[in-house]
Each structure stands twice: as C-alpha cells, then as structure tokens.
Amino acid sequence: MAALVCVSDFERYAHEHLPKSARDYYFSGASGQQTLEENTAAFRRLRLRPRVLRDVSRVSTETTLLGRRIAFPICAAPTGIQRMAHPDGEIATAKALADLSSCMTLSWWSTTSIEDVARSAPGGVRWFQLHIDSSRETTVDLIRRAEKMGYEAIVLTVDMPMMGQRYDHIRNRFVLPRSLKFENFSKETASKFSETQSQGNPRMARRLQTMIDPTLNWDSVPWLISVTRLPIVLKGILTGKDAREAVERGVSGIWVSNHGARQLDGVPATIEVLSEIVHAVDGRAEIYLDGGIRHGTDVLKALALGARAVFVGRPILFGLAYKGADGVKQVMEILREEFRTAMALSGCTSLNDISRALVAHESYYWSKL
C-alpha cells in the first residue's frame, strides 16, 4: 500500500475500508449536502498573499486555549460513536491528542465514558461537548463528572434543537451497532437504546431527539454558567448577531460551526462567516472554527481571518479507521507540519505574525486580469 501523505489519502482509506453503515454515518451531510461541499470549496476560493525575505529559520506554532498552552492550533472536534471507526474509539483519540499536546473535545454521543477517556490520557487537554438534556438534573450530573475528571471547558452545542435530515441515515435505517452504547447516558436510557437495537428499530433519531431540550434559549446560557466553574463555549454560531448575544451572556468562547454540515443544509461555509463573527465579538471572547479543514493552508487562512484555533472532526475519524491512535497522530502531525510549512512560506514565525492581510478572496484578483 502506498504511503498516506495527506488527509485525502486517509479519507480514501476510510471510505474503502469502513463498513457501509459506518461510512455513510461519518461521511454524510444534511439533505442535498450543499453545505458539506461548500465547507471545503470555500477554502479554495481564498488566496494566500505571502511575504518573502523573512528569517523563518525558527517557526513556533504554540498558542493557548482559554489560558491553557497547546503545541499547535489544530484540535479534535467532538465526533460521536468513534468506536465504529476503531475498537479503541475515543480513548485512541484522547491518547493521540495528549501525546501531541493539543486539545480533544469529547462528544456527548461518545461510546466511551467521560471517566475512561480521562484516565486513558492523564495530563491531556480535554473539553466536554454538551447538549442540555430535557432533564436538567441529568445535565448537571454530566457537568459534575466532567469537572471531577479534569475537563477544562464545557462546549454547548446550540444548533441542534432537533436532528437534521440526513438521507443516508434514513436509507440505511441506521441504528447503533449492538456491541456499542452511549457510555455517558444513564443505565435506564442505555437500556432503551438496547431495546431499539434489538428490535431493529430504524427510528433511533427519535429516541435521541427526546433527550435534547427543544426549549433551549438564550436564558439557558446564564443558567449553565451558574452551575459550573468551567468556562462555556457555544458551538454552532453562524451570525454576528448571535455571536454578540453570546458574549453579552457571558460565554468565554465562540465556536463557528455548521455541525459538519449535518444539521441545516444551505447555510454558509464556516470560513465564509468567520470575519463577520470576529468583527461582532471584537476581542471579547476567543473564536474557534470547524468545518472543511483538510490542509495546513486551511488552518492558516482561518487564523488569518481571526480564529484562535481550528477543530477537525472527520479527519480524526479517517485516522482512527486507518490505525487507531497511531492513525490519529499521523493525521494531526500531517496537518501540523503542513501548517508550519505554510507559515514559513508566508513569512510568519509565530501566530502573532498571522494577519488579515495574508488572505484575499479570489475575486480580488479578477479586476487585475
């Protein structure tokens, strides 16, 4: 087998080797998948404007997230049911990110418990992604478990009051594999999913839907802040107006995301709305971005437009499918080295050198032709 040298190579491997149900679950987007395509295409419409004759013999990719130092600004986004990609699942991801001194965000839909992930990678930087349950007591219990195990932020997903329409899931009558369960749910809830699996019920989404509170609103944010000592990051922001509201409600971070294009199809690519959100926040909170990151140059473009760090989801799954923790490390190391090279070739020796002047939309050059 030829060496895998870029994220696309790992993507092809995963597509060829994963079972169809897992492949379609991981790869699919919502409805007609317009936004899924745009997440990557939008990066290609941006051009880099490098400066030359700079001393780039030493290039540092270090930065901080909410005050915690990490080695490079590429982190793991929350992706559910990772043990469909590899038996070690979330534990493999946690080990890989800890070894590389970056941040992992554990999904609410994890097939490994909060506790087991933390024990597998002591000292690693970990955040916990949260949906507010229809039972506030259940929500607080999850937060307490995350606090106890050393997670450093709560990432509240705000773009999922109900499940998006995902055609491949419907066609495949997707259910959780019998050997797996959502390890952070209560025994009672887990048993209900077991019943769904044993009966071959294709309506697993309905069961999941009953667990997410559709009444979630802006008043829920101060409540969440009041019940935890951890900083709150809102994930799923796509407009400047919502970003301003979030900052006014006291959050520490804004995560620009369209849920991997799995919720509302037809929304913009995340990189397209980043500048608007940076302007609205005006330095009052850290800003992160996911969606469509496949190259180190994509990372550079996102940071130039104002993101503090980017988070990758599907590339983590591609690495898991290839070789577990080692596969995840390879994917992340490729992205890190591509990013470092892109910095050097653009005349940047630290993240402080990366500025808005480094990026232009392709239309900037049309009038020059």
Q: What is the pLDDT, as a whole number, of residue 69? A: 98
pLDDT at 200 (0 to 100)? 46
Q: Could you confirm whether 279 is annotated as catalytic?
A: no
Query: Does residue 368 lie within any of the structural domains?
Result: no
Residue 150 lies in a domain: yes
Residue 1 lies in a domain: no
Residue 2 lies in a domain: no
Which residue intervals of the chain are DSSP H helices?
7-17, 20-27, 34-44, 89-99, 114-120, 136-148, 167-172, 187-198, 204-209, 220-226, 240-248, 270-281, 296-304, 314-345, 363-366
How many domains are there within the chain? 1
- From residue 4, alpha-carbon distances to 12, 322, 332, 340 in Å are 10, 10, 13, 19
Per-residue confidence (pLDDT) for residue 173, from 0 to 100: 77
pLDDT in tens, 153-211: 999 999 998 888 888 878 877 888 888 999 998 765 555 555 444 444 445 556 666 67
Q: Look at residue 189 in the predicted model and tell me its pLDDT.
A: 59
Query: Concatenated DSSP letters for 23-68?
Result: HHHHH--STT-HHHHHHHHHHHTEEE----S---SS----EEETTE
| Alpha-carbon span 257 to 271, nearest angstrom | 9
Return all residues near 166 (Cβ < 8 A) that are at least 6 apart: 28, 29, 30, 31, 262
pTM equals 0.94
Where the chain has pLDDT below 50, the residues are 195-202
Question: What CATH code is carried by the domain that includes residue 186?
Answer: 3.20.20.70
- For residue 333, give its domain range: 7-360
The H or E element that residue 283 is part of is none
Residue 207, pLDDT score? 61
What does the pLDDT read at residue 321?
98
Phi/psi zone of residue 67: left (φ > 0), alpha (ψ -120 to 50 degrees), beta? left
| Catalytic member of 259, 279, 295, 361 | 259
In a domain, 312, yes or no: yes
The answer to whether residue 369 sits within a structural domain is no
Query: Does residue 303 lie within any of the structural domains?
Result: yes
